[in-house]
Amino acid sequence: MAKQTVLAILQAAKQQLQMAGQDPELAQYLMLEGNQWRFTELVQHYREALSPTQTQAFQAQLARVCAGEPAQYVLGYAPFYGREFQVTPATLIPRPETEELVEWVLQVVRQPAAKVIDVGTGSGAIAVTLKKERPMWLVTATDISDAAIAVAQKNAQRLTAQLMWATGDLLAPVTGQRFDVIVSNPPYIDRTEMPEMDTSVKRYEPEQALYAADHGLAFYQRFAQVLTTYLVPTGDFFAEIGYHQGAAVKQIFKQALPDAQVTVKSDINGHDRMIHVHLASKG
């Protein structure tokens, strides 16, 4: 029996994914990532046959994705800001919108040696990226999940990013410290939105990193009450928000911090996606 070419395997995989109700383009993603190929290398291999080991690995990954498991969990890593981060079901899968949050922090914060904390670090994507892009910054990463912190620490070690770590709820693990910058991608989904969410997200991604009380606003309410305790007098807070939460989140911070400058920023798709709170000096 003749071996199938890479192109034939891809075409069959796309049909299999489509029949399973999944994105057919995931076939190419699995083939590229599984073999560490760029697209040009994939094209060069189109007419060649995969080895039995390669074929078996690809088919096993394909079966898991057809069953609804996110491709990033199947592969064990996800791209973020030009780097690869290990991900597990203990961490959210980093998304392009969060890259935009990181970019905003880098654009706004100009201190050469800022003291920064990433609250709810998950895979460590935000904290590690900020440290790699600004090596002089002192970056701390926290999470309530021991399992998430373990993943983040592995990512930091592999990407040679020296961070400080703390485990616990919100800012409680760093009580007594003050920071120039607090950044967070907190849980912000209201459970009433579950019917609109992707099945794979609901089935595989960690619940405590997704959902928040009070229509998804609970964590912003909590941050608003403690920012003046944990930020320096002219400090900055950045957070990702839900696409329809801009006005509500802005009101939370303006009510709690009347003198602060509060800015909502849209993502590349034009949706409200992040907020920046700059404290005004009392002096």
Binding site feature residues for S-adenosyl-L-methionine: 120-124, 143, 185
* CB atoms closer than 10 angstroms to residue 139: 28
* CB atoms closer than 10 angstroms to residue 123: 26
- Annotated binding residues: 120-124, 143, 185-188
Reading the block at residue 71, the tokens are: 């491709």
Q: Is 45 exposed, middle or buried (0-12, 13-18, 19+ CB in 10 A)?
A: middle
* Rounded distance between C-alpha atoms, residue 10 and residue 24, angstroms: 9
Going by DSSP bridges, is the β-strand pair 179-184/115-119 parallel, antiparallel, or unpaired?
parallel
Residue 191 CB contacts under 8 Å (≥ 6 apart), including other chains: 211
Reading the block at residue 119, the tokens are: 């609250």
* Rounded distance between C-alpha atoms, residue 195 and residue 58, angstroms: 31
The three-state secondary structure class of 77 is strand
∠40-15-30 over CA atoms, to 5°?
40
- Annotated binding residues for substrate: 185-188
Contact of 236 with 277, CB cutoff 8 Å: yes
CA distances from 245 to 149, 189, 223, 235 (A): 28, 10, 15, 23
